Amino acid sequence: MYKPIEGKLVQFMTSDGLELEGFLVAPKKKTRKCIIFLHGMEGNFHESPMPIVIAEHAKKAGVALFSMDTRGHDALANITRVVNGKQGSHAGGTTVERFEDSPLDIDAAIAALRGMGFKRFVLCGHSTGCQKAAYYQYARKSKSVSGIVLLAPVSDYEDEMNALRGEFDKKVRIARRLAAGGSGDAPFTELNMHYSPNRFLSVADLKNVEARLFDYEGKLSEFRSITVPIFALFGTKDQYAHTHVSRYIERMRSTTGSKLFEGLILNGANHGFDGEETKVAREVCKFAAACK
């Protein structure tokens, strides 16, 4: 059980008209620094205990925390969309989201937080939220982002290859055919997958930036271009890691162009850091507090 924590629900709108929500927790003493928590696949801003625990520690460290929804929240989501003043709906959720649109969500969150007086931001991604945090800074090179936290930045490409084994190449070929035929955003029922062909290819085809971002066998070109401080945290029992996680950290350390790279491994922790949230929160807040 986690004790209630005071905060406020914040609604914000992306430049393409999507209405998203997040939860802001701020210390009583005014601060201009805010951690932005980005959920992973099929997640959302409120279900995981991780941002709640981080928020408790962030308040003590004099830092705010904003746990936000992206357009990829939950598996499928009906998101309100406003175009030319008219309200409609948008099919969202992990199943159909376009990864390359994710910076629009973070842009909108930062704009809303700026309107509340915040100036400096630490992007904290968990799982696929790591790819979104890294891609945002790669694409935007934002001067208001003072650091990036990567919680379990495993390779989705590697995981798909290992999970599908001999079926991987076949599924990629079929997904490409469906996408080329105009069915890229439809359910991938032909091979019993609930993700759309386009969403599957986003992590299973190295032509796509989401697949490349943490392809530890690749060049890590996009990751290399990020210069702000980076903190990467893994658990030794991450069920989506297919080698010892120390190898991932060393690959990042040898590749990074960051001013400061820190890597940490939690012994016994799984992908979600279940039961280890307090340890994670302490490390995240210590890093965030040190980011200028």
Distance CA 145, CA 155 (A): 24
- φ/ψ (deg, to 5) at 50: -55, -55
Helix (H) or strand (E) holding 50: helix 49-60
Query: Could you tell me the residue ranges of all domains in the chain?
Result: 8-155+220-290, 161-213
For residue 54, the model assigns a pLDDT of 97
**Which one, of 75, 68, 90, 76, lies nearest residue 41 by Cα?**
75
For residue 209, the model assigns a pLDDT of 98
Helix (H) or strand (E) holding 114: helix 102-115
For residue 187, the model assigns a pLDDT of 75
Distance CA 123, CA 71 (A): 17
Please, are residues 137 and 103 in contact by the beta-carbon 8 Å criterion?
no
With a CB cutoff of 8 Å and minimum separation 6, the contacts of 239 are 270, 271
CA of 265: how far to CAs of 38, 144, 157, 269, in Å? 20, 28, 22, 9
The DSSP bridge partners found for residue 232 are 150, 263
- Strand duo 19-25 + 230-235: pairing: unpaired
The region that residue 42 occupies, defined by phi over 0 for left and psi between -120 and 50 for alpha, beta otherwise, is: left
Q: What is the pLDDT along the chain (292 residues), one digit of tens a residue?
A: 556 789 999 999 999 999 999 999 999 999 999 999 999 999 999 999 999 999 999 999 999 999 999 999 999 999 999 998 899 999 999 999 999 999 999 999 999 999 999 999 999 999 999 999 999 999 999 999 999 999 999 999 999 999 888 899 999 999 999 999 998 988 777 666 778 999 999 999 999 999 999 999 999 999 999 999 999 999 999 999 999 999 999 999 999 999 899 999 999 999 999 999 999 999 999 999 999 9
Rounded to the nearest angstrom, the gap between the alpha carbon of residue 104 and the centroid of all alpha carbons in its chain is: 13
Residue the block writes with tokens 């802001």? 24
For residue 73, the model assigns a pLDDT of 97
For residue 195, the model assigns a pLDDT of 86
For residue 26, the model assigns a pLDDT of 96
- φ/ψ (deg, to 5) at 27: -70, 160
Distance CA 216, CA 160 (A): 14
| CATH fold group of domain 8-155+220-290 | Rossmann fold (3.40.50)
Q: Apex CA 84: angle with CA 80 and CA 86, to 5°?
A: 45
Residue type, 173: R
For residue 118, the model assigns a pLDDT of 98
For residue 4, the model assigns a pLDDT of 76
For residue 27, the model assigns a pLDDT of 94
Number of CB atoms found within 10 A of residue 286's CB: 13
Please, are residues 232 and 252 in contact by the beta-carbon 8 Å criterion?
yes
Distance CA 18, CA 8 (A): 20
pTM of the model: 0.96
Number of H helices, E strands in the chain: 10, 10
- φ/ψ (deg, to 5) at 17: 90, 10
For residue 188, the model assigns a pLDDT of 72
